[in-house]
Amino acid sequence: MVDPIEIALREDLGDGDVTTDFFVSKNQQAMARIVARERAILAGTETAAEVFRRADSALEITVVRNDGSEINPDESIIEVRGAARAILKAERVALNFLQRLSGIATMTREFVEAAANQHVKILDTRKTTPGLRAFEKAAVVAGGGHNHRFGLFDMVMLKDNHLATAADFDGFAKSVRKFRESHPDIQIEIEADTLEQVHAFLEIDGIDVILLDNMTPAQIREAIALGKDKVKFEASGGVTLKNVRQIAATGVDYISIGALTHSPRAIDLSLELTPLAP
């Protein structure tokens, strides 16, 4: 199984930290704290703590603020005490995880608050950093969002390219019904680019969710009116902080946003180290 933390540490350390190993005594002890430099929503604390544990299992690590917490400038997030060499070797990897995952949580919270609608779930997508999907999806949850499917294995998602391979609509509809019969516990979602497609898909038994791709709020409302109480509806495409409230107000059940995981800004965090007397 892929271990992102191990990969990240190996990538950074290589054959050893030539700076720390030469300039810092192996007996030097230190206390360090990771602090916020800006307001944000926190995520990745246990991941960062595990980075320090991997560097040296003897380090004393205290997670001061948990995932989902709102942090402000100069607040401590994690405190570490022990060998200065180990702290320095783990510093950048721990911060990289914490800054990116907190960026995802912060952006997610911004969308949740901008939507201002408790009946709408803000969803992530599979547009994640390769190898870091589990961490990034956990960060979305820390920010108040919800996870869409984790991968290709846990939900049917029929998009335009899948539909393009279908020989005819009747055969496609038959395949959907056959899958539903053989896999009753797996959700089926299908992408619609037009209201005409929504009409057609509503005639197929077994579909759970229709994804309304790049539709206007007016089109979304019309689609929901057509399928009210028949299926759930998800809006996707072109969703921003400026228009998410308008989209949420249509009555849609879900809004999926790829930017949550593919375009977050890293949160400004830093590690402050204080040497301890022998």
pLDDT in tens, 62-95: 999 999 999 999 999 999 999 999 999 999 999 9
> Has residue 20 got a pLDDT over 70?
yes
Q: How confident is the model at residue 264 (pLDDT cuts 50, 70, 90)?
A: very high
Which CATH class for the 116-262 domain?
alpha beta
Q: Which of 67, 189, 213, 234 is catalytic?
A: 213
10-19 pLDDT tens trace: 999 999 999 9
Mean confidence (pLDDT) of the chain? 96
d(CA 223, CA 45): 41
Q: Report which secondary-structure segment, H or E, holds 77.
A: strand 76-83
Q: Are 260 and 244 in contact (CB under 8 A)?
A: no
pLDDT value, residue 167: 80
pLDDT value, residue 74: 96
Q: Are 80 and 52 in contact (CB under 8 A)?
A: yes
Q: Which amino acid is at 170?
A: D
Q: Are 143 and 108 in contact (CB under 8 A)?
A: yes
* Intervals of CATH 3.90.1170.20 along the chain: 4-111+265-276
> Has residue 137 got a pLDDT over 70?
yes
Residues in the chain: 278
β-bridge partners, 105: none
d(CA 76, CA 61): 12
Burial degree of 93 (CB within 10 A; 0-12, 13-18, 19+):
buried
pLDDT value, residue 39: 98
191 part of the active site: yes
10 part of the active site: no
Q: Are 32 and 108 in contact (CB under 8 A)?
A: no
pLDDT value, residue 54: 97
> Has residue 2 got a pLDDT over 80?
no
228 part of the active site: no
Domain 4-111+265-276 has CATH 3.90.1170.20: yes
Q: Which of 39, 159, 177, 265 is catalytic?
A: 159
Q: Which of 127, 149, 232, 245 is catalytic?
A: 127
Q: Which amino acid is at 106?
A: T
Of 137, 163, 168, which is closest to residue 150 (Cα–Cα)?
137
> Has residue 214 got a pLDDT over 80?
yes
Q: Report which secondary-structure segment, H or E, holds 158.
A: strand 156-158
162-195 pLDDT tens trace: 988 888 899 999 999 999 999 999 999 999 999 9
Q: How confident is the model at residue 229 (pLDDT cuts 50, 70, 90)?
A: confident
178 part of the active site: no
Compute the radius of gyration of the chain from its Cα atoms.
23
d(CA 104, CA 41): 9
> Has residue 278 got a pLDDT over 90?
no
pLDDT value, residue 1: 66
213 part of the active site: yes
d(CA 126, CA 88): 33
> Has residue 224 got a pLDDT over 90?
yes
How many other CB atoms are there within 10 angstroms of residue 133's CB atom? 18
* Intervals of CATH 3.20.20.70 along the chain: 116-262
Extract the tokens encoding 62.
Answer: 């205290």
Q: Which of 75, 91, 136, 191 is catalytic?
A: 191
d(CA 187, CA 234): 13
> Has residue 23 got a pLDDT over 90?
yes
% of the chain exceeding 70 in pLDDT: 100
